[in-house]
Structure 1
């Protein structure tokens, strides 16, 4: 009995004692890093909570996933403790259900913390800049007001009142000054790179190709084709450009909400630019086909322009790999796709116009009626051919500018471009140069779709090309008529105007042309790495070098030459042989310096110095492609080239792949003037031009033989040539004598005897 009383006394004493306070429990444990919050961390925490509250409302704003839930205090032990516990559990359950619904309804990637995004972009050397904001004046003013409102929300309360007054005055001045005498649909002046400070954006890059399917929701078949190429991880240019170009998640990019985007991408050679613009283009076509359904009509909807045929053929092959099983087709523009009737009709019309300039008006009217009849017949014949379908059934057209322009002008029924929604300019700095600029602008003038978007791609993009691209986009009719503002975004992957750091680059002084040839033959006999590309300035020099070294390798027929004077079949045959490994050394001009992908090239030799820094970057970029290490580039220069070497050495120093390069060499090199650079870019080095004088030809001659030996060789060749001519003439004379008529013996007798 005493034991029972003791137990009851203990229990009463314990119940009367004050229990230690229990710690407050939250739905998720607070991380250790958030115990001591700095001012920046507090601001980030406030933004996260505001985003979580907006997400709970399931609004149309970008969704931010927040893992921190509001803390719920544990109810104290009172009479109504059970009811409060039930209410707390119900609150937790509701909070979790709301976040689960947000996760289920989000169609895009989960946005990372801004600090993490910036560190990720800095790690991969990705930089985004808004070059211009375009559109109608109403849309521009509306976008400006929305940006100002966002800035006011981010500012502290004390500084809001002072900034509001200044901003409202600016808005009133802009409305009063710019609005006088101008329509609302007039295009506003674009904000280009000439301004002192440009706006930057920080979108979240992709890190794996699996995100294309899970987060960006591209077509399943397209994703399977991408993974079938056995790509491991996306390159820098693919990480940065795909989030901006994919239609499904562009509205989630911070800074580009409810905007149409035109992209200018600058990335090193061999970094995977073709795949970066091919995936969004194909995904856009698949989405369009799915949305239109039965009303979908086949026709050209995407145009890819390239400066050379070789690059165009390569782009077509890359697209075909990604289009397997998608129902989308690609075609490479060729001259044979234009019917002969159209070409003949145009040629005859031009000839008749030239002949009939001085005739009367009546005869000219008759000729015009005949020409119209011929054109109608030609159109009818080509319409019958178009029903069979050559180019009409293809959604993607890859072409060079001049050939596509002729096709659009001669055959608008075979090549309809009214539904083209995307135009891609590969090697855009060349297409915006004086050589192709008029053709490129005239092609774009034929594209009348209100939803046309532009993208420019190159490894080098000078400032004048950027301004031309901005004017080209701003002058298109789709800009003022669009319902949304448009932003031209520039993406720089890596270091601008530099080559890949994985390429070992050397520069060698050879003093003269004979020194070049001697150094090349020493390289052949000591440390030649094949396959090898040798670049020269002109076609005659390429042919001369091929004739000089074609038997220098121990195995015959391993050296070939490729230039634009060859036929299309001969060029394709040489390219196939070089890719197959049958040709070890390929001598060429700048025809192959841009875009052409030779993944196995180990050595690039600049036998003649490039005509510009951009040309050097593209030449060197033929090796070390797709992250492949072990590529090497050698540049020979003579006494005439010293004043042009400084830019090349600067690129070597910037890229970090130069060997044996010291700073005193860069400082001691002379600087070329602007006129000299322009002349070099247009015509090349004066001593190596095709129409140089006799004295210059001696300096630029590709040979190691002395003048006396060359004279003997030339005399010997001339003697052989003349002997062949004599034999041909002798054979012709004998044939003429045998075929002459027989006049009898009278012609052999003297006149007196007759």
Structure 2
């Protein structure tokens, strides 16, 4: 009976289990429930089989969660940085401060690159700098020895590494790039940098639409003490070297800070302010100096600051006589074909300058009784002096009492690569040696700047007393606007092979009759060649008196007259030498012809830069070259390819041209092409290959004989007239 009851109870329990609903997922056991033996076996079996997979899954989940948390933290940090950058771009003092990322984007867009070219530490920091330089030199020496003998010097390699690690950290690289905040409109000059109100009005009166790239980049460095909000320049004296294409507005870029500096100085000193030279602008040619003076005058209206161009008449006559011997002693013995670039010949021009010139009267420095002294004993009362090196050096040496330069606080070198070249280097360094102000600052400006000029500029600053006695570190910042040592891409450039000099003249005359774009500049190597070409093509244009020649042998009055006529449109074609290749602004020039190949790549860039100025499109440059010039063409073609303005230039042409050695480049720059130098003929006269004429040898001989016959008959007639005076005649007429 009991067995039957057990069976019924078992069946009842089973039926209850089956009758109940099946859960979707097994319910979790309560914490106090004790598992049965079967469940323990199943759990142990399941645990032994899947322990590894569960552990790996748990580790993967933990890593994933960690990555997610790290990503969230990074995103939160990025948001915080963005918020900080956004907070930085807040209006302060009436202007908006750009975020660092936006500053870099603007600089990249306008192709502006800043580099700390050299750092000159304070006297306390100089010994450390020398030690670091010595460490760097020893490290480089060891490295070179290791390359030669790698197998034998493994132990020395370890020792050198240990020595470098134990030594003081080396001085950071000199070429450190910085990112100052550029200006984007001329209104920022007033709102952000607080320049003089009158100066700002004069800038706007010139109707400039927007600042050019060189103005965007250089003005923040020169206008305020923060130097464009760059931490690397904090509490430092900053000198600037600017490299920008021709016609990009460099004159305005250095004129605005210089004038604003003088206005602030005058305001701070008040009644104690004394007039005198405080800013010096050096230029290689007188034409460029006159142009700089005119640009300064436009910006100085109503400011109380005056500018003057250095003239001979400012030096007293009795002291001027001694300058001739000094000029002869200081003149180099280079060939006469470079005299058009050397300012020493410019000073020898026959001048008829009166003592009360317009510049002197405008600057308030008119001399009294012709002795070069004014009522206060100064020949110049203007604050800004624009001059060529040799004339200013003579004035300082001959008349130190009339031309005191101890208060000069800024010196600006326009076309600095020429002023630091062999032609002007001694004169430039002599002028700088006379500037004794402890607050003197330097700025160098040019469209081309070789590495040698950069080194010379650094040495000039480092050796000057203002840097040696300074308590602050001094840094030279280089600004490159655009592509260094290249021309503007808006200029169409072509190069034409003419085989010979006759081919050049024929190509030029063909251009006159087909596609001549006036106004036009034609550059030649020497003054005699310029005169010869002028005589040859004087009447090739249908309208007479439209072709003129300009060179340094002309008097100053004649040169000014030619320049004014060319600017007024009365002269269509102007033949010249490298005298006009630098800095002179001819805004309407449509065509530049290199009749003679330039003596250097820099000369080519400056020559063709007379067209396409201030962003003007449509300028064209043509270069003729002969068989003698082939070995010098590679550099010019390279500039054409780099700038993107060359037409028909292909890579195979550049690769097929011969390379020019350093000696050949140096000789070309110093003396020009050998076949076109003065006195290279058989008898020291004109070289037959360089003769500018389309006449054959037979025609030239016939013309020479005809001219000789005419001269002989004229002389014979004159002799007959002199001898037939009536005294020796046999028949004296009827009585």
TM-score where L is the length of structure 2:
0.75
Contact 2:415 2:445 in 1 (8 A): yes
Task: State which of 251, 265, 289 in structure 2 corresponds to 1:288.
Answer: 265
Partner of 2:108: 122
Task: State which of 637, 640, 651 in structure 2 corresponds to 1:649.
Answer: 637
Task: State which of 281, 293, 308 in structure 2 corresponds to 1:304.
Answer: 281
Partner of 1:709: 699
| SS, match of residue 608 in structure 1 | coil
Task: State which of 465, 481, 495 in structure 1 corresponds to 2:469.
Answer: 481
Select the structure of larger CA radius of gyration.
2
| SS, match of residue 133 in structure 1 | strand
Taking a change above 3 Å as real, the CA distance of residues 494 and 720 of structure 1, as seen in their structure-2 partners, is same
Q: Deviations over 1:441-475 (max 9, x none)?
A: 00000000000000000000000110000000100
Contact 2:117 2:174 in 1 (8 A): no
| SS, match of residue 324 in structure 1 | coil
Task: State which of 39, 45, 52 in structure 1 corresponds to 2:80.
Answer: 45
Contact 2:522 2:575 in 1 (8 A): yes
Q: Hey, what's the Cα distance between the residues in 2 that align with 1:733 and 1:296?
A: 79
Q: Deviations over 1:577-610 (max 9, x none)?
A: 0000000000011110000000000000000100
Deviation of the 1:418 alpha carbon: 0.3
Q: Hey, what's the Cα distance between the residues in 1 that align with 2:301 and 2:277?
A: 18
CA-atom RMSD, angstroms? 3.2
In the alignment, structure 1 residue 465 sits paired with structure 2 residue 453: yes
Equivalent positions of 1:717-736 (< 5 A) are: 717-727=707-717
Taking a change above 3 Å as real, the CA distance of residues 139 and 349 of structure 1, as seen in their structure-2 partners, is closer
Contact 1:546 1:561 in 2 (8 A): yes
Partner of 2:35: none
| SS, match of residue 509 in structure 1 | strand
Q: Hey, what's the Cα distance between the residues in 2 that align with 1:342 and 1:544?
A: 38
Taking a change above 3 Å as real, the CA distance of residues 343 and 223 of structure 1, as seen in their structure-2 partners, is same
Q: Deviations over 1:375-418 (max 9, x none)?
A: xxxx9988772327774210000000000000001111221100
| SS, match of residue 200 in structure 1 | strand
Partner of 2:213: 236
Listed as ranges, the gaps of 5+ residues in structure 1 are 1-35, 53-63, 68-102, 145-164, 175-190, 352-378, 749-754
Deviation of the 1:342 alpha carbon: 1.4
| Farther-moved stretch of structure 1 (214-223 vs 335-344) | 335-344
Equivalent positions of 1:622-633 (< 5 A) are: 622-633=610-621
Contact 1:337 1:390 in 2 (8 A): no
Q: Hey, what's the Cα distance between the residues in 2 that align with 1:337 and 1:727?
A: 53
| SS, match of residue 305 in structure 2 | coil
Task: State which of 516, 519, 541 in structure 2 corresponds to 1:553.
Answer: 541
Taking a change above 3 Å as real, the CA distance of residues 273 and 380 of structure 1, as seen in their structure-2 partners, is closer
In the alignment, structure 1 residue 448 sits paired with structure 2 residue 446: no
Deviation of the 1:229 alpha carbon: 0.4
Q: Hey, what's the Cα distance between the residues in 2 that align with 1:595 and 1:467?
A: 23
Partner of 1:613: 601
| SS, match of residue 498 in structure 2 | strand
Partner of 2:501: 513
Taking a change above 3 Å as real, the CA distance of residues 706 and 344 of structure 1, as seen in their structure-2 partners, is closer
Contact 2:181 2:229 in 1 (8 A): no
Contact 2:242 2:478 in 1 (8 A): yes
Partner of 1:503: 491
In the alignment, structure 1 residue 690 sits paired with structure 2 residue 682: no
Partner of 1:8: none
Q: Hey, what's the Cα distance between the residues in 2 that align with 1:591 and 1:666?
A: 30
Taking a change above 3 Å as real, the CA distance of residues 349 and 713 of structure 1, as seen in their structure-2 partners, is closer
Partner of 2:120: 134
Deviation of the 1:38 alpha carbon: 8.5
Q: Hey, what's the Cα distance between the residues in 2 that align with 1:703 and 1:709?
A: 11
Q: Hey, what's the Cα distance between the residues in 2 that align with 1:438 and 1:420?
A: 20
Contact 2:594 2:624 in 1 (8 A): yes
Deviation of the 1:135 alpha carbon: 3.7
Deviation of the 1:703 alpha carbon: 0.9
Deviation of the 1:484 alpha carbon: 1.6
Contact 2:634 2:659 in 1 (8 A): yes
Q: Hey, what's the Cα distance between the residues in 1 that align with 2:505 and 2:324?
A: 47
TM-score where L is the length of structure 1:
0.73
Task: State which of 324, 328, 338 in structure 1 corresponds to 2:305.
Answer: 328
Q: Hey, what's the Cα distance between the residues in 2 that align with 1:318 and 1:169?
A: 57
Partner of 1:159: none
| SS, match of residue 195 in structure 2 | coil
Partner of 1:183: none
Equivalent positions of 1:353-364 (< 5 A) are: none
| SS, match of residue 279 in structure 1 | helix
Partner of 1:113: 99
Taking a change above 3 Å as real, the CA distance of residues 518 and 214 of structure 1, as seen in their structure-2 partners, is same
Q: Deviations over 1:542-571 (max 9, x none)?
A: 111111100000000000011111111111
Q: Deviations over 1:73-125 (max 9, x none)?
A: xxxxxxxxxxxxxxxxxxxxxxxxxxxxxx66x48x54321111111100000
Deviation of the 1:718 alpha carbon: 2.3
Contact 1:503 1:623 in 2 (8 A): yes
| SS, match of residue 441 in structure 1 | helix
Deviation of the 1:41 alpha carbon: 8.2
Contact 1:301 1:417 in 2 (8 A): yes
How many aligned residue pairs are there? 590
Deviation of the 1:260 alpha carbon: 1.0
Q: Deviations over 1:189-227 (max 9, x none)?
A: xx9xxx976111100000001100111100000000000
| SS, match of residue 129 in structure 1 | strand
Q: Hey, what's the Cα distance between the residues in 2 that align with 1:395 and 1:113?
A: 39
Q: Hey, what's the Cα distance between the residues in 1 that align with 2:449 and 2:210?
A: 26
Deviation of the 1:423 alpha carbon: 0.2
Taking a change above 3 Å as real, the CA distance of residues 118 and 536 of structure 1, as seen in their structure-2 partners, is same
Contact 1:139 1:484 in 2 (8 A): no
Partner of 2:198: 221
Equivalent positions of 1:260-279 (< 5 A) are: 260-279=237-256
Partner of 1:417: 405
Listed as ranges, the gaps of 5+ residues in structure 2 are 1-70, 131-161, 329-366, 731-735
Contact 1:131 1:198 in 2 (8 A): yes
Contact 1:301 1:396 in 2 (8 A): yes
Contact 1:202 1:254 in 2 (8 A): no
Partner of 2:510: 522
| SS, match of residue 423 in structure 2 | coil
| SS, match of residue 702 in structure 1 | coil
Taking a change above 3 Å as real, the CA distance of residues 723 and 576 of structure 1, as seen in their structure-2 partners, is farther
Q: Hey, what's the Cα distance between the residues in 1 that align with 2:326 and 2:386?
A: 29
Contact 2:396 2:404 in 1 (8 A): yes
Task: State which of 653, 669, 678 in structure 2 corresponds to 1:665.
Answer: 653
